[in-house]
């Protein structure tokens, strides 16, 4: 397939793997975090981890929107659907996220709640237009990639004077979470060694540009290389990071030049700024409260803010006591270090955030990589 | 199917009419639907017996009977490359064929939703009858029920198939052995993507057509080309796709499977649609493909036989069976790594970003 096969070419992959092996300093370790869950998924799905030299250790970051959505926020959506009787729309991935008391949106739907899977917020807006007597709420989640479409439907709803549409906003911000990864003091139980650099997200960077990562290089002396989602994109970005570390450089480099600019998509940024404003703090599943890490709807659009429209109770729900998601997200532990992993915590029965979606590090390891470390008998 | 009563009834209005509750009430109107639609479309000697069941001949000595049943619920009812009617025939014919049996007869149950346009039902029945004739497998008995509007999805069709199996033939999911070769009859993912492309909320322009097809002649050609006993497993990777089928086989046979990603045929348009939607073709449904696990000595002949048949022209050798106490399906990826190909978890849903 054009524009995809080129980025999965086995001969080029071998060449990049050879270059990487030649570039690494055998005496040191390179701890690189791919922030984005799409990258975590791509590394596992394409078996890229097998092509990396043993010195390169990839730490799977918190950039999986479904994973970091706290249970308490899903509980709020369930309150809307079950107690307020609204038509609740969201992305398919969100529907199966476990909520409190064995509940989930999918289960609530089976129990009779009006819950619809949509492919975009525009579909939710259309449902609201077609059903003027129903309250329709779009459960919005995601990073900077999915924020502009949410902003757009709010603006459209305002322009069209819709009275029955609102949005439960859970949009979160990539740079704030990256900052948190660097600032958060290591928990007493683990002392995660410092990260050597970041693989910057692909689609998020298309929207925000590469400039927001510059403080990581300047202030924190961490190299950032923005990468596309294909296996060769990732390998090249990892090579660029290794070279920066070897040279003692800390710069923002852009491997994904076919889509990302320094400024990003200004139209999308302006739209987002018009409709949304920064929250003081927001809970991230696995990370806890992260300051200035999420958006809420501006007062000018309060009529379309489900949190203002309905009296909703937010109650933080702690993860399972033995869940190691926090340590895994900080890179202090790997999924197989967790006693719950693949025993009681599986993609069918996720207990912690990293198992919730295929982009979470535990789910990716479970679904694609759990053969590692088990004996394989050849025929 | 019951015969018509001899009182005047206005003929069915196939242009503007629709299914009403009394079509399923067992009265004259229901009998009229059978007489004017189902009976002429599916007409055969068994249906003409006119009873609530069909009397069938005893199988010849040295044979066993196999029976398979399949319920068909699909939205939309019509999709590029087929509809629920042809699918209901192919699905069950294929289930019978995957045991190495020759499909002989079908039954068909229709659950119709009040309000279903008769024009649509007529199209579905015509397509189903054409598929049954093309397969040479008659619908010998049937039933119709009507449910209230909102309690069905237009039409549900349940079909059961009966087939004839030589007594010595043993093809089944538990028969894969380490060293066996894994063959796939063609490219994957077309049915699922074709259906997805027609969903109301997700319409996209594509020329991808469902691969829905009856596979019994392909199976016959394969079995004729290799010694009896050389084909160990046959499965059609329908719901859950190739990945699910292979995991079922690995678990049932107590073996591991090793795939070569580069060898698995995927049409460029299917690959493109899957990339766009964040889906993996390995988990997308097929309705006209089969997986054959064969003894290594017969692999070349089996592959050649598949390729010589129009429905197997794109056949490929995609991997092998290994001993693995964990029963993992593993894949050598195109870029040169390894990964597990796991069971499907939940429904295959498009990714968010």
Q: Look at residue B346 and tell me whether its pLDDT is greater than 80.
A: no
Q: Angle at which helices B299-308 and B216-225 pack, to 10 degrees?
A: 140
- Smallest CA-to-CA distance from B234 within B245, B247, B225, B221 is with B245
3-state helix, strand, coil in chain B (%, to 5): 35, 25, 45
Are A129 and A212 in a shared domain? no
pLDDT level of residue B245 (50, 70, 90 thresholds): very high
Q: How many CB atoms lie within 10 A of CB A59?
A: 24
Q: Look at residue A332 and tell me whether its pLDDT is greater than 90.
A: no
- Domain ranges for chain B, please list them: 21-166, 181-340
Residue of A nearest to B268 (CA): A1
pLDDT for A326:
82
Q: Look at residue A114 and tell me whether its pLDDT is greater than 90.
A: yes
pLDDT for A358:
81
- Contact (CB<8Å) B320/A347: no
B320 and chain A: CB distance < 8 Å anywhere? yes
Nearest to A46 among B178, B272, B333 (CB): B333
Give chain A's radius of gyration (CA, Å).
Answer: 21
- Contact (CB<8Å) A376/B339: no
A115 and chain B: CB distance < 8 Å anywhere? no
> Which of 178-237 (B) contact A at CB < 8 A?
178-179, 201-202
Strands A276-278 and A295-297, by their bridges, are: antiparallel
Q: What's the whole-number mean pLDDT along residues B12-32?
A: 90
Q: What angle do CA A367, A370, A373 make, to 5 degrees?
A: 170
- Contact (CB<8Å) A377/B333: no
Question: Cα separations (Å) of A142 from A173, A279, B75, B289, B352?
Answer: 9, 15, 29, 37, 8
Chains A, B: CB contacts within 8 A come to: 122
pLDDT for B196:
87
Paired residues of B107 in beta bridges? B141, B160
pLDDT for A119:
86
Q: What's the whole-number mean pLDDT along residues A343-370?
A: 88
Residue of B nearest to A3 (CA): B272
Any idea which residue has 């899903």 for tokens? A74
In a domain, A149, yes or no: yes
The ipTM of this complex is 0.84
In a domain, A45, yes or no: yes
Chain A residues lying within 8 Å of B262, measured CB to CB = 10
| Summary mean pLDDT of chain B | 93
- Contact (CB<8Å) A379/B351: no
pLDDT level of residue A375 (50, 70, 90 thresholds): very low
Are A56 and A73 in a shared domain? no
Are A131 and A268 in a shared domain? yes
Q: How many CB atoms lie within 10 A of CB B59?
A: 15
Distance CA B19, CA B37 (A): 12
Are A239 and A156 in a shared domain? no
The contacts of residue B161 (CB under 8 Å, 6+ apart) are: B67, B68, B69, B70, B92, B93, B95, B96, B103, B105, B106, B107, B137
Q: Look at residue B40 and tell me whether its pLDDT is greater than 60.
A: yes
CA distance to partner chain B, nearest, from residue A361 (Å): 14
Are B21 and B146 in contact by the 8 Å Cβ rule? The answer is yes
A141 and chain B: CB distance < 8 Å anywhere? yes
| Strand ranges (E), B129-255 | 139-147, 155-166, 181-184, 231-235
A65 and chain B: CB distance < 8 Å anywhere? yes
Residue of A nearest to B340 (CA): A368
Are A62 and A287 in contact by the 8 Å Cβ rule? The answer is yes
Are B121 and B13 in contact by the 8 Å Cβ rule? The answer is no
Are A160 and A42 in a shared domain? no
Paired residues of B159 in beta bridges? B70, B108
Are A168 and A72 in a shared domain? yes
- Contact (CB<8Å) A376/B336: no
pLDDT for A215:
95
B338 and chain A: CB distance < 8 Å anywhere? yes
Nearest to B337 among A49, A363, A374 (CB): A49
In a domain, A182, yes or no: no
Nearest to A348 among B262, B345, B350 (CB): B345
DSSP designation for B11? P
| Summary mean pLDDT of chain A | 91
Residues B121-165 have pLDDT tens digits of 999 999 999 999 999 999 999 999 999 999 999 999 999 999 999
Are A125 and A160 in a shared domain? yes
Q: Angle at which helices A10-23 and A231-247 pack, to 10 degrees?
A: 10
3-state secondary structure of B30: helix
Q: Look at residue A191 and tell me whether its pLDDT is greater than 70.
A: no
CA distance to partner chain A, nearest, from residue B295 (Å): 13
Paired residues of A175 in beta bridges? none
3-state secondary structure of B102: strand
Instruction: Select the more confidently predicted residue: A264 or B24.
Output: A264
Q: Which residues of A319-337 are buried (b: 16+ CB within 10 A; e: fewer)?
A: beeebbbbbbbbbbbbbee
- Contact (CB<8Å) A10/B325: no
Q: Look at residue B54 and tell me whether its pLDDT is greater than 90.
A: yes
Are A32 and A141 in a shared domain? no
Chain B residues lying within 8 Å of A378, measured CB to CB = 322-323
Backbone angles phi, psi at A122, to 5 degrees: -60, -35
Question: Cα separations (Å) of B113 from B25, B83, B103, B172?
Answer: 13, 17, 30, 37
Are A54 and A97 in a shared domain? no
CA distance to partner chain B, nearest, from residue A187 (Å): 31
Strands A56-63 and B291-294, by their bridges, are: unpaired
- Using a 10 angstrom Cβ sphere, with 0-12 exposed, 13-18 middle and 19 or more buried, the burial of residue A77 is buried
Domain span at A106: 67-174+264-309
Instruction: Select the more confidently predicted residue: B308 or A288.
Output: B308
Q: How many CB atoms lie within 10 A of CB A255?
A: 23
- Contact (CB<8Å) B351/A93: yes
Counting residues of chain A whose pLDDT is more than 90, the rounded percentage is: 74
What does pTM read for this prediction?
0.89
Nearest to B352 among A93, A376, A378 (CB): A93
Q: Look at residue A373 and tell me whether its pLDDT is greater than 90.
A: no
CA A295 to chain centre: 15
Distance CA A226, CA A204 (A): 10
B296 and chain A: CB distance < 8 Å anywhere? no
**Domain final residue, candidates A229, A254, A279:** A254
Q: What's the whole-number mean pLDDT along residues A78-82?
A: 96
pLDDT for A374:
47
**CATH T-level fold of B21-166:** 60s Ribosomal Protein L30; Chain: A; (3.30.1330)
Q: Look at residue A83 and tell me whether its pLDDT is greater than 70.
A: yes
How is domain B181-340 classified at the architecture level of CATH?
Answer: Alpha-Beta Complex (3.90)
pLDDT for B349:
57
**Domain final residue, candidates A254, A279, A299:** A254
HSE-up of B192 (CA within 13 Å, CB side)? 29
Q: What's the whole-number mean pLDDT along residues A281-297?
A: 94
pLDDT for A376:
39
Are A202 and A291 in a shared domain? no
Q: Look at residue A379 and tell me whether its pLDDT is greater than 50.
A: no
Chain B residues lying within 8 Å of A268, measured CB to CB = none
DSSP designation for A97? S
CA distance to partner chain B, nearest, from residue A202 (Å): 10
Helices assigned H by DSSP within B136-261: 190-196, 216-225, 241-253
Are A54 and A113 in a shared domain? no
Q: What's the residue count for chain B?
A: 353
Are B78 and B87 in contact by the 8 Å Cβ rule? The answer is no
- Contact (CB<8Å) A46/B321: no
Q: Angle at which helices B216-225 and B84-97 pack, to 10 degrees?
A: 20
**Structural domain total, chain A:** 3
- Contact (CB<8Å) B335/A368: no
Distance CA B252, CA B264 (A): 22
- Contact (CB<8Å) A8/B256: no
Chain A residues lying within 8 Å of B338, measured CB to CB = 47, 50, 371
Q: Is the dihedral of CA A360, A175, A53, B318 positive or negative?
A: positive
A200 and chain B: CB distance < 8 Å anywhere? no
Chain B residues lying within 8 Å of A117, measured CB to CB = 349
> Which of 295-324 (A) contact B at CB < 8 A?
none
Q: Look at residue B199 and tell me whether its pLDDT is greater than 80.
A: no
The contacts of residue B338 (CB under 8 Å, 6+ apart) are: A47, A50, A371, B330, B331, B332
Are A125 and A9 in a shared domain? no
Nearest to A203 among B326, B339, B353 (CB): B353
Are A255 and A294 in contact by the 8 Å Cβ rule? The answer is no
Q: Look at residue B335 and tell me whether its pLDDT is greater than 50.
A: yes
């Amino acid at each position: 397939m054009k524009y995809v096969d080129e980025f999965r070419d086995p001969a080029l992959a071998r060449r990049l793997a050879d270059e990487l092996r030649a570039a690494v300093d055998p005496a040191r370790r390179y701890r690189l975090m791919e922030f984005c869950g799409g990258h975590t998924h791509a590394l596992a799905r394409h078996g890229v981890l097998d092509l990396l030299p043993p010195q390169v250790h990839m730490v799977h970051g918190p950039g999986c929107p479904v994973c970091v959505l706290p249970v308490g926020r899903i509980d709020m959506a369930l309150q809307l659907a079950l107690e307020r009787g609204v038509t609740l729309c969201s992305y398919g991935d969100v529907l199966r996220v476990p909520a409190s008391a064995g509940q989930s949106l999918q289960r609530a739907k089976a129990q009779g709640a009006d819950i619809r899977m949509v492919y975009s917020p525009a579909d939710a807006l259309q449902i609201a237009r077609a059903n003027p007597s129903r309250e329709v709420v779009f459960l919005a989640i995601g990073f900077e990639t999915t924020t502009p479409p949410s902003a757009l439907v709010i603006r459209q709803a305002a322009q069209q004077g819709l009275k029955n549409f609102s949005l439960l906003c859970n949009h979160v911000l990539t740079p704030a979470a990256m900052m948190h990864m660097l600032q958060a003091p290591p928990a007493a139980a683990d002392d995660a060694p410092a990260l050597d650099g970041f693989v910057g997200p692909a689609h998020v960077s298309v929207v925000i540009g590469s400039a927001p990562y510059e403080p990581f290089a300047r202030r924190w002396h961490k190299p950032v290389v923005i990468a596309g989602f294909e296996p060769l994109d990732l390998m090249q970005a990892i090579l660029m990071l290794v070279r920066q570390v070897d040279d003692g450089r800390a710069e923002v480099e852009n491997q994904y030049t076919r889509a990302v600019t320094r400024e990003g998509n200004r139209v999308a940024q302006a739209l987002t700024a018009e409709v949304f404003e920064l929250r003081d703090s927001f809970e991230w599943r696995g990370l806890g409260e992260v300051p200035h890490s999420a958006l809420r709807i501006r007062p000018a659009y309060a009529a379309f803010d489900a949190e203002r429209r309905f009296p909703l109770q937010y109650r933080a729900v702690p993860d399972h006591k033995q869940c190691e998601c926090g340590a895994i997200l900080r890179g202090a532990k790997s999924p197989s270090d967790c006693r719950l992993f693949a025993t009681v915590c599986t993609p069918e029965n996720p207990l912690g955030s990293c198992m919730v979606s295929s982009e979470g590090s535990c789910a990716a390891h479970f679904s694609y990589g759990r053969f590692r470390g088990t004996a394989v008998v050849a025929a | 199917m019951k015969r018509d009563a001899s009182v005047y009834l206005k003929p069915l209005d196939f242009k503007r009419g629709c299914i009403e509750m009394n079509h399923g009430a067992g009265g004259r109107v229901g009998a009229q639907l059978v007489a004017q639609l189902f009976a002429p479309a599916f007409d055969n000697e068994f249906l003409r017996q006119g009873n609530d069941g069909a009397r069938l001949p005893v199988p010849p000595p040295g044979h066993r009977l196999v029976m398979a049943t399949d319920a068909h619920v699909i939205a939309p009812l019509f999709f590029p490359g087929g509809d629920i009617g042809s699918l209901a025939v192919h699905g069950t014919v294929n289930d019978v064929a995957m045991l190495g049996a020759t499909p002989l007869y079908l039954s068909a149950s229709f659950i119709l939703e009040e309000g279903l346009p008769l024009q649509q039902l007529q199209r579905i029945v015509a397509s189903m009858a054409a598929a049954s004739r093309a397969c040479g497998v008659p619908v010998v008995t049937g039933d119709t029920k009507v449910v209230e509007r909102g309690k069905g999805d237009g039409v549900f069709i349940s079909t059961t198939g009966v087939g004839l199996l030589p007594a010595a033939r043993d093809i089944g999911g538990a028969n894969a052995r380490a060293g066996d070769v894994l063959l796939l009859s063609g490219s994957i993912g077309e049915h699922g993507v074709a259906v997805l492309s027609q969903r109301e909320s997700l319409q996209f322009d594509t020329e991808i057509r469902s691969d829905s097809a009856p596979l019994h002649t392909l199976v016959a050609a394969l079995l004729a080309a290799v010694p009896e006993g050389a084909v160990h497993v046959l499965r059609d990777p329908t719901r859950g796709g190739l990945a699910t089928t292979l995991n079922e086989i690995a678990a049932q046979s107590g073996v591991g499977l090793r795939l070569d990603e580069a060898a698995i045929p995927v049409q460029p348009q299917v690959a493109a649609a899957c990339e766009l939607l964040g889906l993996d073709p390995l988990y997308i449904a097929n309705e006209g493909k089969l997986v054959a696990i064969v003894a290594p000595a017969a692999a070349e002949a089996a592959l050649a036989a598949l390729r010589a048949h129009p429905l197997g022209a794109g056949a490929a050798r995609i991997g092998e069976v290994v001993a693995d106490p964990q029963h993992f399906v593993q894949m050598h990826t195109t870029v040169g790594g390894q990964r597990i190909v796991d069971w499907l978890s939940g429904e295959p849903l498009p990714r968010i970003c």
